[in-house]
Structure 1
Amino acid sequence: MDIVAPEESAEHSQSASDHGTWRQWLLVAGLVYVLICAVGLIGSGFKTATGSQAKEMFEFATNPFAGLVVGTVATALIQSSSTVTSIIVGLVAGGLPVSVAVPMVMGANIGTSITNTIVSLGHVREKKEFARAFSAATVHDFFNLLSVVIFLPLEIAFGFLEKIGSALAGVFVVGDSSMNSMNFVKAATAPVVDSFKNAAANLGTTGGGIALILVGIVLIFLSIHFVGKLLKTLMVGKAKELMHAAIGKGPISGICSGTFVTILVQSSSTTTSLMVPLAGSGAFGLKEIYPFTLGANIGTCITALLAATAVDGNTSAALQIAFIHLTYNVLGVAVIYGIPLLRYLPVKAAEWLGDTASENKMVALVYVLGVFFVIPGMCLGVSSML
């Protein structure tokens, strides 16, 4: 019987691990390709199904508050702002007006924070631990709510986010051209998108368009789900190390690290949820974790920007809404954290809510249902009557 030296065994194990890692990274690349194709399918389907009637289809959401509610509830149900914003990018490429989509991406920011709030409920048995965990989870909620309170009225009055998004998109798109001559990503996805379009053509204009939208949504769900699982396996260990190294070393370090980690794991929910147990255990204080949360808001914008590069339809509008999402989140951090009077309002509100919820657990349940479902539903009902 041959005896394998320990060194050879270790090298063999390391080689097998490296091969496994490379396969996982290739699978991630393939799933990102599927995601981009899926967004293209939604844009094509929406454009095919609605023709010139896209604006009329969303008249119910021309009220900015209705659009905000749609983005909030959709993201709270799906628990992924990346999925919702990717769908919005596809819809805008297919004809959804950018002005209607802006409040939707703002709402997506609010809805995504439900995940870490739910994670904090796992600490409910220990009073002090639950107070810390619930505060760490809801500071993200309060920051996003404050950001909407500041920027939505300004956007309604001046449309400044649309203007900034349009200017940034103009850097990459000349006029209304679709960058076909230099957009290699779109060229790479065109065969898949065109194949689905040809297959759907047999279902008629409306039926084929709806089929493309449904297929695109399903593919986005699946691709983001599996990319998230793979990246958690590949990166979460490193993400935790980075987080431990960055938290408590100053706000700029925290914000930059939160952005970087969220780009790595492709999920702000994952990033912020990682912090909840750290806060619950008392390893870090709320003011130390807070900047890391803000960075997660910025990092989550990468998915929509990636998706916008290869849409089939109005590429300029798709890039515009993706840049609006990025601009909104960057300005939110700059304004709220940059102004001393506003900086710690979310922290104070979260601390108060955490203490209150630890005394009466029903407060936590009422908060989750109220903020993410009941109040948005009431607002939608009121706005429909206006």
Structure 2
Amino acid sequence: MQATQTVQTGTTTAGTIRQWATVIAMVYLLLLAVGMIGSGFKWASGGAEGARQLFAFASNPVMGLVIGTFATALIQSSSTVTSVIVGLVAGGLPVATAIPMIMGANIGTTVTNTMVSMGHISKRKEFRRAFSAATIHDFFNLLAVAIFLPMEIATGYLGKVSEAMAGWFYGGSADMDMSGLDFIKPITKPVVGLFKDMFEILPGIWGGVALALLGLAFVFISIMVLGKVLKKLMVGRAKEVLHKAIGGNPLKSMASGTLVTVAVQSSSTSTSLIVPLAGNGIFKLKEVYPFTLGCNIGTCVTALMAALSVSGAMAEQSLQIAFVHLMFNISATVVIYGIPFLRNIPYLAARTFAQKASRNRSIVFGYVIGVFFILPAALILLTR
């Protein structure tokens, strides 16, 4: 019996080691992918000036918002989209163009919550609770964009604050040499260079296009595998954290949402954990609310991690757009949740909408199609 237990323990330990080795490999692949996207984008667009011309169609903030929303709703991963945006900024995409795209990624990621809540659609009361827990995330992010996108257009708040933060990180002076701290470039540059050499056989800009597309594929693979492995490693513990930490103190709940999301590297995963628990009546909507805001903040770690892989002339701008994501979510949490009138808007909207949706379930499909497809299409037509 003891020998059997020893074998099982050894097998479990070996499995855990393999899982953590996979995590390390996928983090490296993500860092490598961001470098490939940036290099490929520079190659295909002819440098920063070409990038500005290539993305002129997205210079309208509303178009940038639509692009971020569409992309994230399509692949259901804000981590993937924000990592790609970091790579594009590294390749010359202007930060001002990328900021609305980052905001759109916050909106697009909420599709996953709605889909999870539909698992309770056969039971009216459960569905009402689950759907309200899912859509409170939606309404909060929509309200955040409604407040901060006009503010950004008028004042450049996020751009200025994130620029200062990136400047502090890089010393804010040409006299400060950060090259000694760049431990990522030496382990990624040789592999990026190898792929660049492989694609040199392609004519014109197509080598850069191929390099960027391969980098994009690596982002998908790394985020997908990383999410699956971290779920196995952390989700069981995450559930324990949820039961202990949610309820009572909103700040504690926000901190739990942040930590769980950092642990599983996916706000979709952490919010999807809470929706079924809310549907089963374990947590109330007021308890779920601050937890989801913590998830918004926690998901910013992926973009920051991706930004740290960037070196060279655009390194500071890449870190800046990652800080934009972080400051957008922190600022929205402080302003909206900190002001009682604004705090109640997502709560009341989610509760009222869930009551209507539980009586007429076709509203759910209309909501998803309307918010994530019809509305963006209408905005495209209006801004052409």
Query: What is aligned with 2:371?
Result: 371
Q: How do 1:260-275 residues align onto structure 2 when only pairs under 5 Å count?
A: 260-275=259-274
Identify the residue that residue 94 of structure 2 maps to in structure 1: 97
Partner SS, residue 122 of structure 2: coil
Aligned twin of 1:78:
75
Tell me if structure 2 keeps the 8 A contact 1:37–1:189. yes
Contact 2:182 2:311 in 1 (8 A): no
Letter in 1 for 2:18: R
- Residue 40 of structure 1 corresponds to 35
| Aligned counterparts of 1:124 and 1:306: Cα–Cα separation in 2 | 37
**Are residue 16 (structure 1) and residue 15 (structure 2) matched?**
no
Instruction: Count matched residues.
Output: 379
Query: Does residue 351 of structure 1 match 2:341?
Result: no
State the secondary structure of the residue aligned to 2:282. Answer: coil
Structure-2 separation of matches of 1:218 and 1:320? 24
2:381, 2:170 → 1: CA distance? 39
Matches within 5 A, 1:253-292: 253-292=252-291
Paired with 1:305 and 1:197, the residues of 2 have a C-alpha distance of 25
CA displacement at 1:340 relative to structure 2: 1.3
Match of 1:160 in 2: 157
Q: Report the alpha carbon displacement of residue 167 of structure 1 after superposing the two structures with TM.
A: 0.9
Residue matched to 2:325? 325
Judging changes above 3 Å, is the alpha-carbon distance between structure 1 residues 180 and 211 closer, same or farther for their aligned structure 2 residues?
Answer: farther
Instruction: Provide the residue aligned with 2:360 in structure 1.
Output: 360
Pair 1:380-2:380 in alignment: yes
TM-score (structure 2 length as normaliser): 0.96
- Contact 1:69/1:104 (<8 A) preserved: yes
Alpha-carbon deviation of 1:83? Answer: 0.3
Contact (CA 8 Å) 2:137, 2:292: kept in 1 or not?
yes
1:291-316 CA distance string (max 9 Å, x none): 11000000000111001111255111
Measure, in 2, the Cα distance between the counterparts of 1:61 and 1:138. Answer: 28
- Specify every segment of 5 or more residues in structure 2 that has no aligned partner in the other structure, as ranges: none
Percent identity for Structure 1 against Structure 2: 55
Matches of residues 184-195 of structure 1 in structure 2 within 5 Å?
A: 184-195=183-194
Q: Is the 8 A contact 1:263 1:302 kept in 2?
A: yes
Amino acid at match of 2:350: A
Tell me the distance in 1 between the aligned counterparts of 2:153 and 2:376: 19
Work out whether residues 114 and 368 of structure 1, in 8 Å CA contact, stay in contact via their aligned partners in 2. yes
C-alpha contact 1:308 1:315 (8 A) present in aligned 2: yes
- Aligned partners of 2:36 and 2:215 also within 8 Å: yes
- Distance in 1 (CA, whole Å) between partners of 2:201 and 2:310 is 22
Aligned to 2:308: 309
Question: C-alpha separation between the residues in 1 aligned to 2:33 and 2:309?
Answer: 10
CA contact (8 A) 1:75 1:84 kept: yes
Q: 2:115 aligns with which of 100, 114, 118?
A: 118
Residue of structure 2 equivalent to 1:3: none
Deviates further, 144-153 or 340-349: 340-349
Pairing 1:143-222 to 2, within 5 Å after superposition: 143-174=140-171, 175=173, 179-222=178-221
CA distance in 2, matches of 1:125, 1:142: 24
Q: 1:205: how far off?
A: 4.3
Amino acid at match of 2:115: I
